[in-house]
Structure formats: C-alpha cells, structure tokens
Amino acid sequence: MSINRRQVIAGTAGLAAATALGGKFGIGNALAQDGIPTFTPEEGASLRLLRWVPFVEAEEEAWNANTKAFTEATGVEVRIDQESWEDVRPKAAVAANIGSGPDMVMGWFDDAHQYPDKLLDLTDLGVALGQAHGGWYEGLEGYARRGDQFIALPLCAIGNAICYRQSHMEKAGFSEFPKDTAGFLELCKALKAQGTPAGFPHGKAVGDANNYAHWLLWSHGGQMVDDQGKVTINSPETLAAIEYAKQLYDTFIPGTESWLDINNNRAFMAGQVSLTANGVSLYYAAKNDPAMAEMAEDIRSVTLPIGPIGKSVELHQTSTLSVFNHTKYPEAAKAYLAFMYQADKMNAWIEGASAYCCQPLKAFADNPVWTSNPIHEPYSHASESLRPNGYAGPLGAASAGVMADYVLVDMFAEAVTGQRSAEEAAANAERRANRYYRV
Amino acid sequence: MSSHSIADQPSVQNRPSVLERIVQSRNGLGFLFMLPAAAFLLCFLTYPLGLGVWLGFTDTSIGRPGIFIGLENYIWLWNDSVFWLSVFNTMLYTVVASVLKFGLGLWLALILNEHMPFKNFFRAIILLPWVVPTVLSALAFWWIFDSQFSILSWVLMELGLISGPINFLGEPNNARASVIAANVWRGIPFVAISLLAGLQTIPQSLHEAAALDGATPWQRFRRITLPLLTPIIAVVMTFSVLFTFTDFQLIYVLTRGGPVNATHLMATLSFQRAIPGGQLGEGAAIAVAMIPFLLAAILFSFFGLQRRKWQQGGRD
C-alpha cells in the first residue's frame, strides 16, 4: 500500500504544481509539470533534516505543514532536528566528515562548499527549478553551485535592513532617511547629539557583525579577494571603509565592541538605541508584545545606505539545503526537496516566515508578504542585493574560514577601538586572509 | 579437576599452556586484570591525543582529509599575533584566576573550619556556584556584565558614583577582568571545600600544643596549618590550574573571545579555527600547543609544591 502511495507522490506533487501554474505542459515519463524531474522514494525510506532553530513561529509551522503533506503523499517520514543556528555548521560538517547523521541539512552561507564531495549532486533539480520559476537569484545561486553543478539548493536570504525609530529621526531633524553613506553618517551624528544613538555590533556577532562589516567594506568598493582568490583586502578602498567605520563608531552607544548577535535587539527594544540593522524579527518582537505597541508603531525599516560604489550590496544571511551523499535514500531526499519547492508550498512557507526569509527564485517575488506591511519592503530586496561572502573570489574552505575566524569583523573592530591604525588593521586582515587562501 | 587431567597426560605435565602459566603467575594475572583499563585508556585517551597531535601536522579541514605538512601550522602560529594574544590571555587568565581562587578559597576554608552557627548550612551553600552548570552561570554573568543593562552599572549609577554604564566586556582590560571574576566566582567552592577537607585532617592536638607553647595564631597557621596542608594544596591547585587553563564555556558565552580577541583563550581560539572555521589541522595545533603549558603547570605543582623540606617548614 505504501508503495502505491509512494508512486502517487510524483503525481500528487506534479498535479499540485500543475494546478498552481495552469498546466502548460503535459507530464512526461520522468518529468512532472514544468520539466521538474520526479523522484520515487526508496522502499521504506525515511529522512532526517537538520535545520536551524526557527526565528519565526509561523515559518516553522509552514515548513512542518509542507513536510507533513509530503509524508502524507509519499509515506516517507521526515524527522526534523533543530540546532541553534551557530551549531548547524559544525554539526553538518561533522556529519559530512564521518558520513552519518542527518540526510539533509539546512545550512548557512558557503557550508556546502566546505565539503562538496560529500554532497549529493542536485544539478537536475536545481536547473529544472530555476527554469520553472523564473531563475535563481545570482548571489544565492553562487552559494549553491560549484561550476555547473548544484551541490545544494538555495533556500532563502535572511534579509538584513536598518530598523529605526521614525520619531527619533524626525526629532534629529531628518524628514526622510538618508540614502547614501555620507548622509547616514550625518543622521547618526544627529542621533547621538540628541541622546538616542545608533549601534552596530563590532563584537563576535556571527550574523549582525558580519553583515555590518561586509556592508562597510563593499559599499566603499573594498573586497577580501579578487576573482582569482588573491587577497586584495589591503587596498585604498578598504582604508576608506575603515575611516568611515571609525566616524560612525564615534556616534554609537558605548559597548558595541562586545555586542554579540542579541545585544542590538536588546538595546533597541529597551529604547537605548534608536537605529540598528537586523532581520525583521526585531520589528516582530516589538509588534507581538502588547507593552511595546507604541514602539512597534514607530519602527521603520530601510535598506542600508549606498556607498561610493553607487549600488546596494549586502551580505545578508543565506541558507541552502543540501543532501549528504551518505544518505540511504537519495531519491526520497530529492523528492522531498522537489515537493518543498513547489510553488504553493514555497509560497506558503515564505508567507509564514513574515518577511524573514526572502525567496530564492524570482517567480516568488510577488508573494503577498512583501506588500502586506511596509516594514517588509526593504527585506524583499535581500536576494537581489545579496553578494556571497568571500566576494569576488571562489567559495570554499578559504572564504568560510575567513568569515568564521572573524577576519573582517576584527579588522574594523581593531581600527575603530584604536587598537591598530587603519593601515595596520588592513595589513593584519591581509595576513590572516592569506593564510586561508594559501592553497 | 584440570590438574588431574594434566597429570593424566605425562607429555604435557611439565609444560602448562601459555595461558595457564600467565593465569598462575602473579605478574601475569596482574597484567590480565590491567588489560581492560589499558584498552580503555588506549581507545579513549591515547588514540584521541595521538590523533590530535597528528592532525596538528596536517592541513586537514572539515570534509577533506589532509596531507602531512610538517611544522607549517606551528610556524604560522608562531607568527600569528592572534595566537600569541590568546597565549598571553590564557596565561593571565590562569595565573590571576588561580591565585585569587587559592587565596579566597583558603580564606573561606579557614573560616568554615572554625566553630560557628549553621556551619553545615554554610558549607553546603558554598558549593552552589560549583553545582550550577557553567553555561547557566555564564549566562547570568553575561547579563551582569551587559554593556547596557548591567545590574552593577545600574546600582552604581543609582548611587551616583558613575554617570554611564561600565563597558565591562567592550574594553579589553575590563573584559579580561570580568571573565576572570566570573571564573573565580565559579572556582572558589572547589578550592574551599577541598582545602576544608584537608584542614580537618590536621590534628587539633598540634594546635593545642603550639598554643600552650605560646605560638600566635599567625605562627600556628604558618608553622602547622600551611605545611600540613601543602600536599592537598598541590593536588587542588593542580586541578584548579588545569580547569582554568582549559576553560571554554565561560568565554564562549560571555565574549566569544572578543573584544578584538582580547579574551580569546587557546581553547576558544582552537575551537573557532577548527570547527566553525573548518581548519581542523590548525585547531589541533593550537590544542597541542596547550600541552607544554599544562605539563609545566602539573610539574610545578608536583615538584614545586610537594618539596618535602618546604612542607616541613624548612628552606631549600
């Protein structure tokens, strides 16, 4: 019986997609609607997915509902293990190394590039999904591909944007939010002058500090490496970024050099800072708390200002889904992924995530979540403005190592706290980065 | 039974099997009894340690078996200012925290050794910081040292002693002092209770005799308590130094090595490079680099603090 049900999956999955997309094509032998291959799960298959602990409850509910629908359609049980988001990387790496543990992982950034040989080739699915749904966003696709091969599927960009208090900005004499870095510095100075300063983390905040540091660097035209993987961090552009960071730091609330990921949220919620950058969760923390209603009304969001290079570039968080090749049920895993990327499933999930997760495929950009609340708007551009870490070089152990070792975060922190001059900080970052890019 | 059957076969009468000879010999039996423990040590201590040392000589990264690269990891670390900063931090952290833990622990043990009301209650409560899981106490300290919401800053500000919050974890020296304070708070009970146990083994008659001879309390402490306590101190402080030197959780929760690596210990740096950073070889090299320091600490405790003459109140 279960075999029959399993054989039905492809059909169910395909039919759902077909209904959603208007049934333009007929179902081929091995291809369901829109040319997406179908996969028949192995007999008695069950799967384990390792994912990061959800930040938004409705996101988890939507993901689990989709998973449940998959299990109902195929009979394949999917166990979802959650790990705090910083622990996913080491856990997945160990699973990859020893060849046992979860079958699939919802990982971060360039995780997949640390152990590409241990991952199942998802090229057939990746190419087909891209073609079916308007194409992948370039930055996200970069994280999932190695050459022509998909070693993962891009899942989402977790958007980062400035969250600020409208009333505080107006009080500081600004009617609208500055669009460029120079104007932004003026705003931060004015905010400090009136006792409601800004604050961005210079501590070892995996997400927020890296987002901030990469924006500082890239907005001024600096880059860690060139397209050949040669370290080019010690450049005039980097020095300009550091000088700018120092000026901004002078306007911050004291103590940002010790901030970990949660500190900016705390300080913002307590009204100690009136401007910081974060995911949309910051807004929802205020909105969901009746005592914070007044603050929630006052919060606005905007993309980070554009620097001398003239366009919006940011790191954001990126999540990908990959399948370990030690899985006993590769077909079931691919069937699961194909199911989760069906338009109705993916849209339901993106909607559940309340603007926390930005779509990986362009066709989902018109998801109603982006227009349901003006706060969401800046987060809708995350996948577009996203640039992979280790830009402009190849992704791999080196790019991952440099970020995990906080080379860029430390460079800015060393300079803004006066421990090193801008030149020394850049030279030190160059020395440290060279270590990772030596091979 | 078996001796009968052997006796029935003259050809093997004088030649018991190897196994029998081992079982019947005192040393052989001892060896057999030690085998399980030896196997255990080999599997769970020698092998991981050996593997760690080997990894330190390779460029292994997560997901990619490495090749032997000789001393390259160590040469890189030798020239790496972050590594040397972590060595300095580890030494500072260990020395300052251990001295404070010893001083305060001994003091506490001496107080608890006196007759006072609710003695057992206090002895039990003293253990609390040691009983609470490190991560939980570290999280509590994280709030205590928060740059915006520190209760210490708040109290001092309410008292009008300071105008703004103290930057506990943001300023390098403040951060070092803060993590050391948290470690000392956590480590004192271990030292205090162990030394208290040592104090109770010192015969009361010695103190009474010295008192009758007119020795002052300081003289009794210096000439009786301290020398008789030294063997316990050596053991306790060896353990205390080892725990402190290899501390990880406190730093990881409080600062993750920040600000700008000012509180990175060798253990936290090793983790950062090996697991999130994926450079298993280099992480292992940092861990291996801890071994000489640990050995030095152990040797100092055993050969330094256990010198007989010194214990007996004499000079070298």
Same domain, yes or no, for B31 and B92? no
Mean pLDDT by 10 residues, chain A (439 residues): 41 42 38 76 95 90 96 95 87 87 94 90 96 95 93 95 96 95 96 95 92 97 94 97 97 92 91 94 91 93 96 94 96 96 95 94 95 94 94 89 92 94 95 85
Short-list B159, B125, B305, CA closest to B230: B305
Short-list A323, A260, A268, CA closest to A85: A260
Give the pLDDT confidence of B61-84 residue by residue, as tens digits. Answer: 876 778 999 999 999 999 888 999
Same domain, yes or no, for B79 and B52? no
Q: Smallest CA–CA separation between A4 and chain B, in Å?
A: 38
B97 band by pLDDT with thresholds 50, 70 and 90: very high
Short-list A433, A343, A403, CA closest to A207: A403
Interface test with B, best of A120, A200, A204, A258 (most B CBs within 10 A): A258
Query: Which of A114, A266, A435 lies nearest to residue B62, judging by beta carbons?
Result: A114
Kindly state whether residue B181 falls inside one of the protein's structural domains. yes
Interface test with A, best of B58, B86, B260, B279 (most A CBs within 10 A): B260
What tokens does B244 get?
A: 């402190």
Q: In what order do the strands lie in the sheet with A299-302?
A: A275-278, A161-165, A299-302
Task: Give yes or no for B61 touching A (CB within 8 A).
Answer: yes
- Those of residues 135-154 in B touching chain A at CB distance below 8 A are 146-149
Kindly state whether residue B193 falls inside one of the protein's structural domains. yes
Short-list B260, B249, B290, CA closest to B174: B260
Short-list A32, A408, A31, CA closest to A216: A408
Short-list A305, A205, A290, CA closest to A256: A205
Kindly state whether residue B272 falls inside one of the protein's structural domains. yes
> Worst-scoring range by mean pLDDT, A20-24, B204-208, B249-253?
A20-24
Angle at A370 between CA A368 and CA A376, to 5 degrees: 145
Give the pLDDT confidence of B132-157 residue by residue, as tens digits. Answer: 888 899 999 999 998 888 999 999 99
Same domain, yes or no, for B272 and B189? yes
Summary mean pLDDT of chain B: 87
Determine whether the interchain pair B175/A270 forms a contact, defined as Cβ–Cβ distance below 8 Å. no
Supply the pLDDT for residue A13: 45
Q: How far is CA B205 from CA A173, B143, B195, in A?
A: 81, 49, 19
Spatial neighbors of B128 by CB under 8 A, at least 6 apart, are B189
Kindly state whether residue B52 falls inside one of the protein's structural domains. yes
Same domain, yes or no, for B44 and B79? no
CA–chain centroid gap for B251, Å, is 15
List the domain range (segments joined by +) for residue B182: 74-311
Cα–Cα distance for residue pair B59/B268, rounded to 1 Å? 19
Looking at residue A31, its amino acid is: L
Same domain, yes or no, for B300 and B198? yes
Beta bridge partners of B58: B68
> Which sign, positive or negative, has the C-alpha torsion A117, A119, A120, A122?
negative
Q: Is A391 helix (H, G, I), strand (E, B) or coil?
A: coil
Average pLDDT rounded to a whole number, residues B151-166? 90
Kindly state whether residue B250 falls inside one of the protein's structural domains. yes
Domain count, chain B: 2
Determine whether the interchain pair B277/A404 forms a contact, defined as Cβ–Cβ distance below 8 Å. yes
In this structure, are residues B258 and A413 in contact, taking their beta carbons and an 8 Å threshold? yes
Kindly state whether residue B5 falls inside one of the protein's structural domains. no
Short-list A231, A225, A240, CA closest to A387: A225
What tokens does A152 get?
A: 């993962």
What tokens does A437 get?
A: 């890019």
Supply the pLDDT for residue B174: 92
Q: Is A285 helix (H, G, I), strand (E, B) or coil?
A: helix
Same domain, yes or no, for B222 and B153? yes
Supply the pLDDT for residue B14: 67
Give the pLDDT confidence of B15-42 residue by residue, as tens digits. Answer: 778 888 888 888 888 888 899 999 999 9
| Contacts across the A-B interface (CB distance below 8 Å) | 117
Spatial neighbors of A267 by CB under 8 A, at least 6 apart, are A199, A253, A273, A276, B148
The most distant pair of C-alpha atoms in chain A lies apart, rounded to whole Å, by 72
Phi first, then psi: what are they for B159, rounded to 5°?
Answer: -75, -5
Supply the pLDDT for residue A57: 87
In this structure, are residues A336 and A70 in contact, taking their beta carbons and an 8 Å threshold? yes
> Is the interface score ipTM higher than 0.90?
no
Same domain, yes or no, for B129 and B87? yes
Q: How far is CA A335 from CA A22, A107, B155, in A?
A: 22, 19, 59
Query: Which of A114, A270, A397 lies nearest to residue B148, judging by beta carbons?
Result: A270
Same domain, yes or no, for B50 and B86? no
Q: Is A56 helix (H, G, I), strand (E, B) or coil?
A: coil
- DSSP annotation of A179: -
Same domain, yes or no, for B93 and B28? no
Beta bridge partners of A276: A163
Number of neighbours of residue B269 by Cβ within 10 angstroms: 29
What tokens does A108 get?
A: 């971060």
B53 sits in which H/E element: helix B47-56
Q: Is A99 helix (H, G, I), strand (E, B) or coil?
A: coil
Same domain, yes or no, for B79 and B46? no
Task: Give yes or no for B172 touching A (CB within 8 A).
Answer: yes
Place of tokens 């300080």: A267
Q: Smallest CA–CA separation between B259 and chain A, in Å?
A: 5
Same domain, yes or no, for B123 and B22? no
Please, how many CA atoms are within 13 Å of residue A334, restricted to the half-sphere of its CB? 25
Supply the pLDDT for residue A157: 96
Task: Give yes or no for B257 touching A (CB within 8 A).
Answer: yes
Cα–Cα distance for residue pair A58/A385, rounded to 1 Å? 25
- DSSP annotation of B42: I
In this structure, are residues B87 and B267 in contact, taking their beta carbons and an 8 Å threshold? no
Domains, chain A: 2-156+316-385 (3.40.190.10), 161-311+405-436 (3.40.190.10)
Query: For the domain that residue B155 is a member of, what is the CATH number?
Result: 1.10.3720.10
Residues of A with CB under 8 A from a CB of B: 86, 89-90, 93-94, 96-97, 114-118, 202-204, 253-260, 263, 266-267, 270, 272, 397, 400-401, 404-406, 410, 413-414, 417, 419, 428, 432, 435-436, 439
Question: Which string of DSSP letters, residue by residue, matches B70-99?
Answer: TTHHHHHHHT-HHHHHHHHHHHHHHHHHHH
pTM of the shown model: 0.83
Q: Please, what's the b/e burial string for A88-111 (b: 16 or more CB within 10 A of its CB; e: otherwise)? A: bbbbbbebbbeeebbbbbbbbbbb
Same domain, yes or no, for B30 and B166? no
